[in-house]
Structure 1
Amino acid sequence: MHALVSKRVPSGSFCDPFGGIGSVGAYFQSKGYSVWSGDVLNFPYFFQIARLKFAHLSTFKRLFDELGIGNINDLIHLLNSLTPKTGWFTREYSVERLFFTNRNAQKIQACRKKIKIWAQKGWLTHYEHSILLASLINSMDKVANTAGTYYAFLKKWHRKALNDFRFELIIPVSSKTEGQCFHEPASNLVRRRQFDILYLDPPYNQRSYAHYYHLPETIALETTPKVHGMSGIPSNISAISEFNRPNEARLALINLLDKASFSLLVFHYSDNGIITPKQVRNILSVYGKIDDFLIDTKGYTTKKEPRKAKHHLYLVQHA
């Protein structure tokens, strides 16, 4: 994608309002773009802070002073040396549901509790707190007994789930600039300023990110909600996006673009998405000439065989 975009806009501002865990934004920031990224969920917003908010790793000065430690390695060692704990997390996601081995769940529980205590004592800034929680979620995911999301656990232990949990700190992307990160709807972020590049990667089916990634979001919120079902989804989970709704997605895209100001639009969407390819082209053609590039990716399937789904990158230079 960078090769296609950089030929048209080699530098400038890059807006990613459906930023997710910051992978695309971090890459473009490493290439010198000024990145503005956002998400409506808490845990992706925390990942974005960890990856692209700062050009250098936070000093954690107050925390280090209070703990009497001298560097990041000491902090990582401390979190990995905590006495394993039992509690809500171990009960719901190790005993009742096999998302984690009991040993790993207890280690995650201990880290979660310690980070929350530090925040309550005022030893962490908002950004430092976000970085630690994102790092905990990222480390947790490496030993999760899942196939990629938290909508279900595997019937048999995956080999990664049998590895020992280790807390690892997310390192910010190597960059000369600092990114801008926002916890807000895409429609709010696109109105903040005129952008050289607007990258839109909205949900394209009815599978809600809030449901499929409920556990990372719960960790980010530091809550212990009442959960239900085999997935352990919180009973009070947030509503799905309008982009997940067949009767709302098309109008949601129209309204979002109407609020935005950009020089180049990059729209990523699937052939089998809620908005049909014909509808997408009709919507985008209002803004200029469309260059359509196909990307082959493995689509989601409930069967054992992966399903090929055609994904499009629509590039529109604003007329």
Structure 2
Amino acid sequence: MMRYIGSKAATLPAIQSIIETHASGATSLCDPFAGICTVARHFKRLGMRVETGDLLWGSYMFQLATIALNEMPTFDRLTPTLELEASNESCAAILSAAQKVLAWLERSPGRPGFVTAGFSDAEGSGRRFFTQENAARIDAVRVQIAKWRDDGLIDMLEEAYLLACLLDAADRVANTAGTYMAHLKSWSRKALKPLQLRAIPIVNNHAQNCCSRTDARETAKTNVDVLYLDPPYNTRDYSFYYHLPETLVLWDGATPTGKSGVPATRRHQISDFCVRRRASSALDELLGQSSAKFVVIHYAADGLIRHDEILDMLNGRGKAQFADLKVRSYNSRVREADIKAHHRIYWCDSH
């Protein structure tokens, strides 16, 4: 899945252990800072009903694709209009409709457009996020998805699924160290590989899961057993760091500016959790909105909200506990594996 700052893939065993030990019998979980849904997907896979939220459009596509959907999209209105046969009949028989649609898109010829002009080394943009070939293929795929939507051939969830697959594919060939605030000076090995669209797997938890593109304080107003919080812990604004995936989703033609190509005309909604003077009160407000029986917070020891403040907030709901973790830290100049950060997991039973 797409690379994302702060992905909790490595700490899933610790999070799961805490919830299974201290919130035994929990059947539902809310993740208001969903990102690419690493934690939400894990607990959906374990059978929990899941509710997610985030402010970014890219996150919303991953939410709809991996959390809202319990089965692979069938593309019933689209497939009759396309030649979807695989290279041989035996292979075609075992492919899902989604895999066939993605294969059709992958075989389509590149068509240089917005991404090629603004985010490859073509036409003097100076931004080497993608090779010209991959940028042209991204352009072609994105234009085709928009056309299918406008023609009424795909619904919202089918569109979200295809866009999530495109964001994942584009990230795998992006010439970056992990975010889109800068590109590498020389072409990386992965950036020179051809764009490949892979079907994102879907897990069925036989529950009605809810997804939203809203402020975490709104998402937390729900009836769940477990509230899992992974708020931003510094001033790094993800809408800037992931501006290019946002542009691929919005497809609004916003003019890229500067070395990073961040659209100057787009209004960026900076989270209160990224602002030192507002982060603590924002967390306190969020906790006050939630009726969850059990709260888990993943936070950095040197984050904007002090350790004692978090403990005070949780102790107001019940007895707060915490454990220290050593995790990999993002740094654009040094290999992630070489850096360790000090994080904490807090938990509290609200009974």
Partner of 1:82: 108
1:169 is aligned to: 199
For residue 287 of structure 1, report the CA deviation from its aligned partner.
1.1
Residue 223 in structure 1 maps to residue 223 in structure 2: no
Which residue number in structure 2 is paired with residue 4 of structure 1?
Answer: 18
Distance 2:213 2:332 in 1: 32
Q: Which residue of 2 aligns with 1:241?
A: 271
**1:227–1:101 distance in 2 versus 1, CA, 3 Å:** same
- Kindly indicate whether the alpha-carbon contact (under 8 Å) linking 1:135 and 1:168 is maintained by their aligned counterparts in 2: yes
Match of 1:197 in 2: 226
Moved more, 96-105 or 10-19: 10-19
SS of the equivalent of 1:135 reads helix
Name the residue aligned to 2:243. 214
SS at match of 2:128: coil
TM norm structure 1: 0.95
Offset, 1:168: 1.6
**Equivalent residue for 2:284, pick from 254, 259, 263:** 254
Asked whether the equivalents of residues 73 and 98 of structure 2 are also in contact (C-alpha less than 8 Å), the reply is: no
Q: Which amino acid aligns with 2:19?
A: V
Identity %: 35
Aligned-pair CA distance for 1:270 = 0.3
**Aligned counterparts of 2:154 and 2:334: Cα–Cα separation in 1:** 45
Residue 26 (structure 2) pairs with residue 24 (structure 1): no
Alignment of 1:268-287 (within 5 A): 268-287=298-317
Deviations 1:253-303 (A, max 9, x none): 111111111100001100111111122212222111112011211223354
Give the SS at the match of 2:51: strand
Which residue of 1 is the match for residue 98 of structure 2? Answer: 72
Counterparts in 2 of 1:52-201, with a 5 A limit?
52-67=67-82, 69=84, 71-95=97-121, 96=125, 97-191=127-221, 193-201=222-230
* SS at structure 1 position matched to 2:313: helix
| Cα distance in 1 for residues equivalent to 2:203 and 2:17 | 19
- 1:25-49 CA distance string (max 9 Å, x none): 0100111111011111111011011
Displacement of 1:174 after TM fit?
4.9
User: C-alpha distance in 2, partners of 1:302/1:16?
Assistant: 27
What SS does the corresponding residue of 1:156 show, helix, strand or coil?
Answer: coil
Amino acid at match of 2:180: Y
1:45-69 per-residue CA deviation (whole Å, 9 max, x = no partner) reads 1101111212210111011123354
Partner of 1:177, secondary structure, is: coil
Give distance in 2, aligned partners of 1:144 and 1:73: 22
Checking the alignment, whether the CA contact within 8 Å between 1:38 and 1:184 is kept in structure 2 is yes
Distance 1:17 1:110 in 2: 33
Unaligned runs of 5+ in 2: 1-14, 86-96
Matched residue of 2:228: which SS? strand
- Is residue 312 of structure 1 aligned with residue 338 of structure 2? no
Q: SS where residue 248 of structure 1 aligns?
A: helix
3-state SS of 2:346 partner: strand
- For normalisation by structure 2, the TM-score amounts to 0.87
Task: List gaps (5 residues or longer) in structure 1.
Answer: none
1:194-233 per-position Cα deviation (integer Å, ceiling 9, x unaligned) = 2100001111100001000001111111221012111100
- Report how many aligned residue pairs link the two structures: 318
Q: Does 1:47 align with 2:77?
A: no
Please say if residues 272 and 309 of structure 1, whose CA atoms lie closer than 8 Å, have aligned partners that are also in contact: no
1:11 and 1:32 mapped to 2: Cα distance? 10
Cα deviation for residue 307 of structure 1 reads 3.1
CA contact (8 A) 1:50 1:171 kept: no
Q: State the Cα deviation string for residues 77-97 of structure 1 (Å, max 9, x = none).
A: 210111111111101100220
Aligned equivalents of 1:234, 1:103: Cα separation in 2 = 23
Report if aligned partners of 1:290, 1:316 keep a CA contact under 8 Å in 2: yes
Matched, 1:35 2:50: yes
Q: CA RMSD in A?
A: 1.5
Deviations 1:113-143 (A, max 9, x none): 1111101111111111111111100111000
